[in-house]
Amino acid sequence: MDEFSTLQQIAVRARRNLDWNVWDYLMGGSESETTLKRNRQGFDALALAPRILRNVMHVDPSTTFMGKRLNFPVMLAPIGSLQLVTPDGALASANAAAEVGTMYFLSSVTQPEMENVGPATNGPKVYQLYVKGDDDWIDLQVKRAQDAGFEFFCLTVDTAHYSRRERDIIKRWEPSSRRAVVEDGGIDHLACLDWDTVKRFKDRHDIPLILKGIGTAEDAALSVENGIDCIYVSNHGGRQLDHGRGSIDVLPEVAEVVKKKVSIIVDGAIMRGTDVIKSLALGADAVCIGKLQGLGLAAGGKDGLVHTLKLLEAEIKTSMALLGLHDFSELDATFVEEVEPLMPAHQTSPYTHIELEEREYEI
């Protein structure tokens, strides 16, 4: 992996390695992809405000998240159908997370199953569930996850209906994860989720619960009232509701309501170390990466993802030093300012020296 010295080169290699169907599945969004673009535009509309003369010889990007020490505040989001991106599927991501010292979210609609992933890795792990059954079925999935060594549980709550992802529809292509979500009446169970489901879960299970798909301050407040351990601000990478707000735009209002009572995660178009810093400045305790995780895997499997994470960590440390930060306890909203974005937002717009769909580049 030494041939990759930048994240841009990772993206180029990933594009070369993936066929168009899998590339569009990984990088695309729903309908007009407005939400996807707003995810990126939200970061581009924030400038950083550095402090100087702080003696930043030593910079520490580590953090503690829900009692677990992370070498840096970047976790791996749950992604369905990872086996389309790399033959090892979820095992590649789980092993990469353990190697670099961070947390991994295993999707319930990827391969291999939790019983194969959990015992195979020693890092902290979260099991993310798309509900496809009744209350007893949920109870069974919780037991399976705990028996497999998962210490945290995540319910995805923004999939009451499977969205219209037109890149896939136009080509009449369907990933296995879509079939796994909608088969056997699964989408009906997702549509029926409500706060009573959450209350019952908290009453019956002694495992920290994360809700993924929070998009408003109102639902963040309800999450706190219902005893949720972690709020995961997400719009599914722009892959569910179109014409939504960018996740980073929602984050400050969620942080204001939560007031540090529970942990906060954010995802959506995080492709640079500065994106991570902006997220923490506006109230997140950690971020998750989805598309960038997929690019790393596509570029070189587990080793490609490890290298991607190390490059991202290097960007974080460099930016921390240039901002005058010794660690993240010193970071707050005074380090960011709203500005006008300089470029049109799209899935790879943070990588300004490449044009993936127009020309070939030598690594």
pLDDT at residue 188 greater than cutoff 90: no
Please determine, for residue 361, whether its predicted confidence score (pLDDT) is greater than 50.
Answer: no
**pLDDT in the model for residue 179:** 61
**pLDDT score of 362:** 43
In this predicted structure, what is the pLDDT of residue 1?
75
The model's pLDDT over 113-127, given as tens digits with 9 standing for 90+, comes to 999 999 999 999 999
pLDDT of residue 177: 65
| 1 part of a folded domain | no
Q: Does residue 112 have a cis bond before it (omega within 30 degrees)?
A: yes
On whether residue 360 sits in a domain, the answer given is: no
Q: Considering the domain boundaries, does residue 257 fall inside one?
A: yes
Average pLDDT, integer, range 265-291: 98
pLDDT at 353: 81
pLDDT at position 182 is 62
Residues 267, 246: Cα–Cα separation, whole Å? 10
Sort strands 63-65 and 68-70 into parallel, antiparallel or unpaired.
Answer: antiparallel
Q: Is residue 344 part of a domain?
A: no
| Helical pair 20-27 and 291-323, crossing angle rounded to 10 deg | 50
CA distances from 210 to 13, 157, 175, 230 (A): 33, 10, 25, 5
Provide the pLDDT for residue 349: 93
| pLDDT attached to residue 180 | 59
Instruction: Confirm whether 358 is domain-assigned.
Output: no
Confidence of residue 174 (pLDDT cuts 50, 70, 90): confident
Q: What is the mean pLDDT of residues 172-190?
A: 70
How far apart (Å, rounded) are the C-alpha atoms in residues 206 and 68?
A: 17
Confidence of residue 360 (pLDDT cuts 50, 70, 90): very low
Number of domains in the chain: 1
* 348, part of any domain: no
Distances (CA, A) of 256 to 147, 198, 250, 286: 36, 22, 10, 16
- Tens of pLDDT, residues 68-86: 999 999 999 999 999 999 9
User: 199 by DSSP, 3-state: which?
Assistant: helix
SS3 107: strand
Q: Which structure tokens are listed for 344?
A: 């049109």
Catalytic residue list: 236
Residues spanned by the domain of 236 = 7-338
The pLDDT value recorded for residue 190 is 86
In a domain, 205, yes or no: yes
Tens of pLDDT along 216-273? 999 999 999 999 999 999 999 999 999 999 999 999 999 999 999 999 999 999 999 9
Residues 6+ apart with CB under 8 A from 27: 291, 294, 347, 348
The pLDDT score that the predictor gives to residue 2 is 79
pLDDT at 263: 98
Average pLDDT score over the chain? 94
Residue 349 lies in a domain: no
pLDDT at 186 over 90: no
Q: pLDDT band at 184, cuts 50/70/90?
A: low
The pLDDT of residue 108: 96
- For residue 337, pLDDT over 50 is answered with yes
Lowest mean pLDDT among 37-51, 89-103, 183-197: 183-197
Reply yes or no on whether the pLDDT at 54 is more than 60. Answer: yes
Supply the pLDDT for residue 363: 39
The pTM of this model reads 0.95
Looking at residue 79, which CATH number applies to its domain? 3.20.20.70
357 pLDDT higher than 50: no
